[in-house]
Amino acid sequence: MSNQETVVSALERRIDMSVPLADIEKDVEARLKQMARTVKMPGFRPGKVPFRMVAQSYGQQARSEAIGAAVERVLGEQIRTLGLRVAGYPSIEPKDGTSTEALEFTAVFEVYPEVSIADVSAQEVERPLLEVGDAEVDQTLEVLRKQRTTFAAVERAAQDGDRVVVDFTGRKDGVEFEGGKASDFAFVIGAGQMLKDFETAVLGLNAGDSKTFDMTFPADYHAGNLAGQTVQFDVVVKKVEEPKLPEVDAEFAKSLGIADGDVAKMREEVKGNLEREVKRRIQAKIKERVMNVLIETNPIEVPKALVDQESRQLAENAKKDFEARGMQTKNLPIDAGWFAEQAARRVKLGLIMSELVKSKELHAKPEQIRATIEDFAASYEDPSEVVGWYYSQPQRLAQAEALVIEDNVVEWVVSNAKTTDKATSFDDLMGNAA
């Protein structure tokens, strides 16, 4: 038996190996003898089938299994001897049969890169600051009020923000076009449900009014036959309704789950939920910067096998997400290659963080996991039930553990980098800025 390693690139390895044919033949015979004890054939009792017939029927199977076992054994021994960490699955390439005494083959595979955590002291990490006060609570309550908007009919001209109910017919060159006609169609002016020019045409009309107007569809309109085309609409306004927002009172509090309708208690609950959401979003922004720092300061080449595997997993996740939304994915081509860039980043971060956790002892402690789960459960009606749900399944607990490890990594980078605090606005943090 002879083995020789070749370094093809930073991560790719080739090992030329050989296994004596005598060893393989010996294993084939042993396997056939084992089969002969239980194999069944017409006219023979189990275990009484002549060895020659067993070899004739199962010889190819036994030889394939023996070769596979020999290759796996020899390759495994060589990988352990060389101290290699194999990424993915080796590709086995048989050599030309020039030897009559040995089976010769080449194993081609990738190895994990060596990762040494770089100094991050010169890197800058900005930490957003925001204290939740009455203004943020009021703004959130206003959003909640708008979500519970009702509409009441009015006898005046339609204004921005009103809901109108209309009949309309669209014609192109005097001919009605598909999708251009509707009855009792309701939409809120300014909500973006209809094209801006259509909404503008309805503004100022009263219930019972009709109007004919020309309108040009945008050049990038989704219906190709209408994109950039000028059409004519006939519209009849059947109803004009103005928005009515609920008062912030006991009934409103009850609609938010406050059983006794206590408005002060409602504000406290809204504030508590906001504080948790603000904390989560601040952590997310810091985490995003930290991950960029780790990528920038630790440039590593990643095994293609791992990137391919991660790409396939992301593609499968996307498929499941589409299916969860009710879409049929049987004939929907989802190419794993679409996710290659994202997969490469995830693999890099995984390798860097794994080394960081190991070298800096950033493993999740039981009390950290418990605190994370309790913090997440606090926004539910029965937090203890949610905590129990997490601890009832190891997989769920592992998810919480992974979050804690990420937080530990973030904290380590923040503690060792140049971290500056910067006040941020509620709208910017929540993504509400215009």
Which contiguous run of DSSP H or E holds residue 394? helix 394-416
Question: Hey, what CATH topology would domain 3-111 get?
Answer: Alpha-Beta Plaits (3.30.70)
Q: What is the pLDDT of residues 104-126, one digit of tens each?
A: 889 999 999 999 999 999 999 99
Q: From CA 53, how far away is CA 55, in angstroms rounded? A: 5
Gap between the Cα atoms of 324 and 310, Å rounded: 21
Q: Distance between the two ends of the chain, CA-based, in angstroms?
A: 71
String of DSSP letters for 74-100 = HHHHHHHHHT--EEEEEEEEEPPS--S
Instruction: For residue 18, give the H/E element and its range.
Output: strand 12-20
Helix axes 304-324, 340-360, angle to 10 degrees: 110
What integer best gives the mean pLDDT of the chain? 91
Task: Give the closest residue to 318 by CA, choosing from 288, 345, 338.
Answer: 338
* Pairing between β-strand 418-423 and β-strand 86-94 as defined by DSSP bridges: unpaired
Confidence (pLDDT) at 41:
87
Amino acid occupying residue 282: I
Q: Which two tokens stand for residue 354?
A: 């794994």
The answer to whether the beta carbons of residues 119 and 38 sit under 8 Å apart is no
Question: Residue 254: pLDDT above 60?
Answer: yes
pTM, rounded to two decimals:
0.71
SS (H, E, C) 225-250: CCCCCEEEEEEEEEEEEEEECCCCCH
As a whole number, mean pLDDT of residues 300-328 equals 90
Average pLDDT over residues 118-144: 94
pLDDT score recorded for residue 60 = 93
Burial class from Cβ neighbours inside 10 Å (0-12, 13-18, 19+) for residue 311 reads buried
Pairing of strands 12-20, 102-111: antiparallel
Tell me the C-alpha distance between 11 and 113, whole Å.
Answer: 7
Alpha-carbon distance of 212 to 200, in angstroms, equals 13
Two structure tokens written together for 84: 């290699």
Helix pair angle (383-391, 394-416), 10° resolution: 100
Mean pLDDT of 265-289: 93
| CA distance readout (Å), 198 to 149, 215, 235, 330, 389 | 23, 7, 10, 38, 51
Contacts of 425 (CB under 8 A, 6+ apart): 130, 433
Question: Which residue in the block uniquely carries the two structure tokens 């406290």?
Answer: 268
Question: Each residue of 327-371: pLDDT tens digit?
Answer: 777 777 788 899 999 999 999 999 999 999 999 999 999 999 999
Predicted local confidence at residue 98, as pLDDT: 65
- Decide: helix, strand or coil at residue 145: helix
Mean pLDDT of 237-246: 96
Asked if residue 433 has pLDDT above 70, the reply is no
List the structure tokens of 33: 């003898």
| 187 burial level (CB within 10 Å; 0-12, 13-18, 19+) | middle
Does residue 346 contact residue 309 with C-beta atoms inside 8 Å? no
Confidence of residue 4 (pLDDT cuts 50, 70, 90): low
Class of domain 149-244: alpha beta
pLDDT at 434 over 50: no
* pLDDT for residue 286 is more than 60: yes
256 vs 424: CA distance, rounded Å: 28
Q: Is residue 192 scored above 70 in pLDDT?
A: yes
Q: What is the mean pLDDT of residues 59-78?
A: 92
CATH number of 124-135+263-430: 1.10.3120.10
Q: Centre a 10 Å sphere on the Cβ of residue 79 and count the other Cβ atoms it contains.
A: 19
- Output the pLDDT for position 40: 86
Q: Using CA atoms, how far apart are residues 363 and 226, in angstroms rounded to an integer? A: 59
| pLDDT at res. 1 | 47
**Domains in the chain: boundaries:** 3-111, 124-135+263-430, 149-244
Q: Do domains 3-111 and 149-244 have the same CATH topology?
A: no
Which of 75, 106, 88 lies closest to 11, judged by CA? Answer: 88
